[in-house]
A and B are shown apart, each in its own frame.
Chain A
Amino acid sequence: MEPMGKVLMINYEKCTGCRLCELVCSVMHEGVSNPSRSRIKIMKWESEGLYIPMSCQQCQDAPCIAVCPVKAISRDETLDFLKVDYDICIGCRACVSACPFGAMSFDVIAKKVIKCDLCDGEPQCVRFCEIEALEYVDADRVSVFKKKEAAQRLSLAQKEAAALQAEM
């Protein structure tokens, strides 16, 4: 079986909250600057300095596919993302209600649902995110990065424990 495609990996702790991703997303998709039409959105807790980018998770068992009454949402075989067929979509917004991440949005100007389409394999949000809070990586690598970070923490903890023991 073919390995699955790449995914948008969000390292939220790195996000500076600048919202350039929202800007370039709307320029890329709509030819305009308008974050309210962006597929990605930074959620902010300004009084705590916390910023978290939110976008489509391209779920395997996707609620948006399940809930769509006209079967307008399907999986793109090449890039492994969920796409909306606007010729079929009736704009009922059932997918907006069903998405557990709020990643399906409704564009009030174009009057259609919008979601991340990975910009045909070159996500602009990733390209412009210099701090690498957003990365486009092979799906199987995401957990490897996390494993490595966790392993590093374990190793550090062990070293600290050894140092403490030596002091005793």
Chain B
Amino acid sequence: MALNRKIAYIDLSTGKVETKPIPLEVRKKFLGGRGLDAYLLFNHTEKGIDPLGPKNTLMVSAGILTATCASATARTHIMAKSPLTDLLGSANMGGFFAPELAWAGFHHLVIKGKAEKPIYLWIHNGEIELRDASQLWGKTTTETQWAIREELGDEDIKSAVIGPAGENLVRIANVMTGIKNAAGRSGMGAVMGSKNLKAIAVRGTMDIKIAYPLEALEYNKRFIDQIVSAKVNQTQGTLGTPFIWGATNSWGGIRTRNFQYNQCEYADDIEPERIDEICTETMGPYHMTGCFGCQVHCRAQYRIPSGPYAGKYDEGPEYTSQGAFGGEPDCKNAVTVLTGNHLVDQWGMDNLETGSLISWAMELSEEGILTSKDIDGLDLRFGNDEALLEMIRRIAFREGWLGDTLAEGGIRAAEKIGKDSFEYLIQVKGMSNLHSDERATPALALGIATGSRGSDHLRSRPAIDLYHLPEEVLRKIYSNPVPYDGPLSSEHTSYVGKPWQVLWQELCYMGVDCLGICKYHTTFLGATLPNFEDWAKVIYYNTGLEITPTDIWTVAERCYNIERLFNLREGLTRDDPKKGDTLNHRYFDEPCRRGAPDVIGSKIDRKKFKKMIDEYYEHHGWDENGVPREETLKRLGLDKEPSHLL
């Protein structure tokens, strides 16, 4: 069964590998995936270590449901101390890697130390081998994966790899698998690079026993029917995540020119329908693909239609790339978006960070904070597509002063650039914000401000807040599995009840990440999708583990608190503009200039925002500084951490 999957400790400095079973007691406390990773991170790193030094520990994991007969259990979680934020580093990717890791006998890898020379890990049916990777060093993400398959003579091998950016210790480098699946955020690729770890290759043909196979099969069918019947997933399955762009841009929720406007005008060429047209023209009518076992199939396939990379195959682009290489730098050209997306995929960098940092530099250049000497002669102004693409390359290869500077990530770059460059940097805890504009949506603003890995839309985003659902519907969603009788508001511009929604979504996403499933299969963009109650059944049918929806909620709380403890240990304080639960001052000071009538003029109210944070802490059982109270830790069984159960 899935619960007999093992954990492996791999010391790259000594080459020593140790495998252990994961005790049931630990499973019950942390389930698996991100939650157990967080526990391992807290237990296997010391305070204040250099994220790019040998003392950082890298966790790679599958969820508790991965490769069982549950829907879309494709997600891999990766965790370490972040070289970008110096806080929690945490990233999650789809594809086919995690299930293959499970069939190969493992659910969790704890990787320590640093290899003397480039190596890769070969994990096959319970065996782990360190192999020379000198012939792979310098290769792009896909070249690396295909070369490993050729070397080992098996086309079914799945690998999680870094590209040149990870090798170059670019602090926004990601870990990738397949064509475009990326554990994008918080610089996990640089951590692999710092350990001389080019790739983790897995292949398995071991059985995962299903506790109740027929029940699991039937429940999976029901689950899938529920998931594909949601309109939002049907649209995802046709247009992919770019579909979000259309509505969001029309009401004024897309940042453009860094933070100057909240709507991207005259951008027909990067609208979802146009991108879909290119996918159809280059890949035919059936150009959607998906991750393991998923019936949403939200990933488009395309070939770049023209330009220097014409004919190159890639997948996506996601909504994130539309913003990062389209809206934010004001380059409203589909070919630019598709090319930018391809370059970061090949070189292994977070698309969101890359586009955001370049757009920031464009604004600094416009403001005269960066001079032409700083940017090595590049005409780095908004709307210059060529400069954007060239800058991507310079960051990946740390070329020129600015390329090398931006490769350090926003906060370090701001320190190097100096003047008031930091004031223009749209970040939380050192992570760049998604190109969405949250000034008209306090719930979303609170979500990014408090996210445990820094600014992020996949930690807590009450996105359904935008649908103006009736209060009774909201109450039905948000008072399960634990009761909530406080206020709730259907108004997306309101500050009422939002802290609870943020906390609820936070724990819902933590649950998803522990299970190893995708967020499109839960209450994220669709209000009718499964959550805690359904998960309890899925876990039982597949693994035999008896767990209630409330138990899963408590596990999620426990795991979220461990992440909080890690961040506090590494220096998080409530109001620190670089490490706190706060937003760039422009959210409070600059009103929205475009969009729907009720959006124009919107900005976040400082006082109300502070009150939201207070309420949010209170819901969590944290004190006014955001530190978990002793009774909270006791209730969650975290009062004796680190407890070294694994």
A interface vs B, CB < 8 Å? Answer: 13-14, 16-20, 23-24, 27-28, 30-37, 44, 46-49, 51, 108-109, 124, 127-128, 130-131
Question: In the complex where A31-B209, A127-B221, A131-B297 touch, is A49 in contact with B289 (Cβ < 8 A)?
Answer: yes
Q: Which residue of B lies closest to A44 (CB)?
A: B155
Selected from A27, A35, A36, the residue in CB contact (under 8 A) with B217 is A27
Chain B proximity of A9: nearest CB distance (Å):
15
Q: Report the separation of the CA atoms of residues A49 and B312 in the bound assembly, to the nearest whole angstrom.
A: 12
**Secondary structure class of chain A's binding surface, majority of residues:** mixed
Selected from A18, A23, A37, A109, the residue in CB contact (under 8 A) with B297 is A18
What are the residues of chain B within 8 A of A24 when measuring CB–CB?
Answer: 69, 217, 220
Q: Which residue of B lies closest to A15 (CB)?
A: B286
Q: Report the separation of the CA atoms of residues A16 and B301 in the bound assembly, to the nearest whole angstrom.
A: 10
What are the residues of chain A within 8 A of B532 when measuring CB–CB?
Answer: none
| Contact status A109-B217, CB under 8 Å | no
* Further pairs besides A34-B206, A51-B289: 20, Cβ < 8 Å: A18-B295, A19-B293, A20-B292, A20-B293, A27-B69, A32-B207, A33-B67, A33-B68, A33-B69, A33-B208, A34-B205, A34-B207, A36-B103, A36-B205, A46-B178, A47-B142, A109-B205, A109-B207, A128-B221, A130-B228
What are the residues of chain A within 8 A of B292 when measuring CB–CB?
Answer: 18-20
What are the residues of chain B within 8 A of A17 when measuring CB–CB?
Answer: 289-290
Q: Judge whether B313 is part of the interface by a CB distance below 8 angstroms.
A: yes
Q: Report the separation of the CA atoms of residues A13 and B289 in the bound assembly, to the nearest whole angstrom.
A: 11
Chain A proximity of B67: nearest CB distance (Å):
5
A-B contact pairs, 16 of them (CB 8 A): A13-B286, A17-B290, A18-B290, A18-B297, A19-B293, A20-B292, A23-B69, A23-B293, A28-B217, A32-B209, A33-B69, A33-B207, A48-B313, A49-B315, A108-B205, A127-B221
Q: Report the separation of the CA atoms of residues A34 and B210 in the bound assembly, to the nearest whole angstrom.
A: 10
Q: Judge whether B418 is part of the interface by a CB distance below 8 angstroms.
A: no
Task: In the A-B complex, list the 10 residue pairs whose CB atoms are closest, starting with the nearest.
Answer: A36-B205, A32-B207, A49-B301, A31-B213, A130-B295, A33-B208, A16-B297, A20-B293, A18-B290, A27-B69
Q: Report the separation of the CA atoms of residues A18 and B221 in the bound assembly, to the nearest whole angstrom.
A: 15
Q: Report the separation of the CA atoms of residues A13 and B283 in the bound assembly, to the nearest whole angstrom.
A: 10
Q: Which residue of B lies closest to A13 (CB)?
A: B286
Q: Report the separation of the CA atoms of residues A13 and B288 in the bound assembly, to the nearest whole angstrom.
A: 11
Question: In the complex where A19-B292, A27-B69, A128-B224 touch, is A46 in contact with B179 (Cβ < 8 A)?
Answer: yes
Q: Which residue of A lies closest to B155 (CB)?
A: A44
What are the residues of chain B within 8 A of A13 when measuring CB–CB?
Answer: 284, 286
Q: Report the separation of the CA atoms of residues A131 and B294 in the bound assembly, to the nearest whole angstrom.
A: 11
Chain B proximity of A18: nearest CB distance (Å):
5
Chain A proximity of B291: nearest CB distance (Å):
7
Q: Which residue of B lies closest to A109 (CB)?
A: B207
What are the residues of chain B within 8 A of A35 when measuring CB–CB?
Answer: 103
| Contact status A34-B103, CB under 8 Å | yes
| Contact status B210-A32, CB under 8 Å | yes
Q: Which residue of A lies closest to B315 (CB)?
A: A49
| Contact status A31-B290, CB under 8 Å | no
Q: Judge whether B96 is part of the interface by a CB distance below 8 angstroms.
A: yes
Chain A proximity of B504: nearest CB distance (Å):
29
Q: Judge whether B216 is part of the interface by a CB distance below 8 angstroms.
A: yes
| Contact status A33-B210, CB under 8 Å | yes
Interface-central residue, B207, B221, B294, by most chain A CB under 10 Å: B207
Q: Report the separation of the CA atoms of residues A125 and B121 in the bound assembly, to the nearest whole angstrom.
A: 33
What are the residues of chain A within 8 A of B283 when measuring CB–CB?
Answer: 49
| Contact status A131-B313, CB under 8 Å | no
Q: Report the separation of the CA atoms of residues A46 and B179 in the bound assembly, to the nearest whole angstrom.
A: 7
Chain B proximity of A42: nearest CB distance (Å):
10
Q: Report the separation of the CA atoms of residues A35 and B204 in the bound assembly, to the nearest whole angstrom.
A: 9
Q: Which residue of B lies closest to A27 (CB)?
A: B69
| Contact status B286-A14, CB under 8 Å | yes
Q: Which residue of A lies closest to B299 (CB)?
A: A16
For residues 184 through 224 of chain B, which have their beta carbon under 8 Å from a beta carbon of chain A?
205-210, 213, 216-217, 220-221, 224
Q: Judge whether B146 is part of the interface by a CB distance below 8 angstroms.
A: yes
Selected from B142, B210, B224, B286, the residue in CB contact (under 8 A) with A31 is B210
| Contact status A47-B96, CB under 8 Å | no
Chain A proximity of B642: nearest CB distance (Å):
34
What are the residues of chain B within 8 A of A108 when measuring CB–CB?
Answer: 205
| Contact status A16-B288, CB under 8 Å | yes
Chain B proximity of A40: nearest CB distance (Å):
14
Q: Report the separation of the CA atoms of residues A30 and B142 in the bound assembly, to the nearest whole angstrom.
A: 34
Chain A proximity of B68: nearest CB distance (Å):
6
Chain A proximity of B162: nearest CB distance (Å):
18
What are the residues of chain A within 8 A of B146 when measuring CB–CB?
Answer: 47
Q: Which residue of B lies closest to A22 (CB)?
A: B293
